[in-house]
Each structure stands twice: as structure tokens, then as C-alpha cells.
Amino acid sequence: MQINQHAVAVTSTLNPASSRSRDGNVWKLVLTVFFFAALSHPTHAQRYAGEANGTDTPRWIGHLTVLAINSLIGALTGGVAQRLRGGSFENGFAWGAGGGAVVYVGKRIAGERFWGAGLAGREIALVGSSMVRNASEGRPVLSRVLMQVGPLPVRLDMTLTEGIEVKPRLDVFALGWLGYGLADRRLRLELGESFSSGAPVFQARDEAILSRGVTARGLTQMRTVFLSDPTRLSLSAVDREKTLAHERVHVLQSDFILTAWNDLVTDAVLRRLPRTGWLREYLSFDVVGWMLINFHDLVYGRGDWQSPVQLEARFLSHQ
């Protein structure tokens, strides 16, 4: 069973100032965010063989490292983006770092194995991603917050400046992958695990998932999780729990790309186009995430098992 990471397709196996200066700033913003995004990858697979080797390094050092990296990514995103908008790099850097730290807390929770860990971690991490987004736009740090609506491909966009204004925001690409999973009879929606994870979780029926031709325990596509049948890979119940925890961390990584990078870029571009206000308010098109699926191979090659997103997910899920 193979899930194609570049398109929703099924083969014989499963394939899941002045106007000119303002325009210039928009494209600088687009290129800068894409540069940062190129260091990451929103589509993640967890292979079956060749798991992480053991290490004598204390876990607290690993957690400090992951915290520092998430804070730095948030800081650079907030600082550079706010400076390109004519604001303060220092202000964006400081608040962005705080947002990145909150994202780390959410990821750490999502990597645990208690019921609801994924949903709780996702909501917390989305607050952190929202903080980074607000820092990028020079807004008060909690003036606008996005919250996840369970496993549905919908977020609540809450503006908290004058009272509370709430708007639903549809994740279009995640909706597509959810529909794909529901339509393919070789996949089964795990409803309880979906609510616990805060994202759709599908398990293959009596098959193993292939990612780029390699057997994978699990795969995350646009915030939708696909798992191999554990009996096909002789996985224990604990191994399967760790696999799902691993994929939940990938969901949060993808959330950050969507919220802090993609929405920032697409909003900046759509503002230049007529009659697109409703698109910006109610829909999210993860174009940056989609581009990274293709761009990733140029950075890491096809074997991405040692990429930063994989190392972080494996560490936080205790693999």
C-alpha cells in the first residue's frame, strides 16, 4: 500500500509606502518565509527498519536542544517578517521566540501516549504558532489565536482585540486528504484515535504503507495520519502507540508551517488581488507545505529519515 506524497492518487497500491515598494516587500516576505520553510518538510514518513540508534546523551539535553531550535525558528520568523513590514526586528524576534517555546511544549505533550495527548498538544502548539504569526505582523501577542476543531480540517480564527470575534477557517488541503482516506476502502478511519490525536487517523486494512517505495510504519499528509496494519510489520501495541505519537508530532510541525509561514505568505499575496477577502478570511491553502513536499528532495534527498523533522519526532515520541 503506497501513499503518493506528491498527489492524491491511487495505483495498484495505495498512493496517499508606494505601491511598488509594498509589492517588493510582499515578494521579499514570500521568498524569506520559503527560505526558512525549505529547512523543514511538511510530509513525513516513519520507516519500519533502521530506527534511531541508542545514545548516552541525557534526555534533558535533548529537550533543551529541541526547545532552543523551536524558539529560534519562531524568533527568526517573527523578527524577519516584522522587519520586512517596517516594524521592529527585536520585537518580532522576542515574541516569536516565546511562541516557538510554546510550540515546543505542545509537541512534547503530543509525543506522549495518554488519551487526548495529540489534541491537547495541538491546541497548545497552535497558540504558539499564532504567537509567532502575530509577532510577524506586529500585532499584540495574543490578539489573534487559532484553535483546532477536534479532528476536523477546520480551525477557529479568534480575534481578541475588541471583544471576541470567531470565524471558521477551512484547511482545504487537509480536507482533500480526509476525503481521500474516507473514499478508499483499503483504509479504516480510527475514530477514537482521531479525536484523541486532534487529527484524522487512518489505518490500512491488512496492508503496510509504502513511502517512496520504503515500508513505513506511518505517514502524515497535510495533517492527516496514515498507519500501516501493525500485524503486517509485527509491531507490538507499544510500538504502534509510539508510531502514532511520532506522527502526531509531524502534525504539529505541519501546523506551524501552515499557520506561521503559509498563511502569512498567502495572505500577503491575496491582498494584492481583487475580491479575495473571503478567501483570506475563511480558507487556508497550504501552498508552502505543498511546495516543500517537492522541494524537500532537493535538500535532503529521498531518504529523509535523518532530517530535522524526523529526528525531532523520534526524540519526542521516545523512539
Torsion over CA of 311, 314, 317 and 319, rounded to 10 degrees?
-140
pLDDT for the residue numbered 51: 44
pLDDT value for 303 = 52
Encode pLDDT of 24-54 as tens digits. Answer: 554 444 444 444 544 444 445 565 443 444 5
User: In terms of pLDDT, which residue wins out, 214 or 91?
Assistant: 91
Please name every residue paired with 228 in a beta bridge, in sequence order, or none if there are none: none
pLDDT at 208: 87
**pLDDT for residue 295:** 75
Judged by average pLDDT, the poorest of 58-67, 141-150, 184-193, 202-211 is: 202-211
What gap in Å lies between CA 172 and CA 174, rounded to an integer? 5
Give the CA count within 13 Å in the CB-facing half-sphere of 316: 35
pLDDT for the residue 62: 92
Enumerate long-range contacts of 21-24, CB under 8 Å, 24 or more apart.
23/272
Q: What is the pTM of this model?
A: 0.84
Ranges 82-86, 123-127, 177-181: which has the least confidence = 82-86
C-alpha cell at 216: 513505513
Q: What are 31's three cell numbers? A: 521568498
Name the residue type at position 4: N
Which of 3-17, 122-136, 173-187, 211-225 is predicted with the least confidence, judged by mean pLDDT?
3-17
Residue 291: predicted pLDDT: 86
Residue 300 has pLDDT above 50, yes or no: yes
pLDDT band at residue 57 using 50, 70 and 90 as cut-offs: confident
Convert the pLDDT of each residue in 106-135 to its tens digit.
999 999 999 999 999 999 999 999 999 999
Q: State yes or no: pLDDT of 215 exceeds 90.
A: no
Cell output for 264:
502569512
Alpha carbon dihedral 91, 158, 264, 211, in 10-degree steps, equals 120
**Predicted local confidence at residue 35, as pLDDT:** 47
Higher-confidence residue of 304 and 116: namely 116
pLDDT at 297: 63
101 pLDDT above the threshold of 50:
yes
Mean pLDDT, rounded, for 221-241: 92
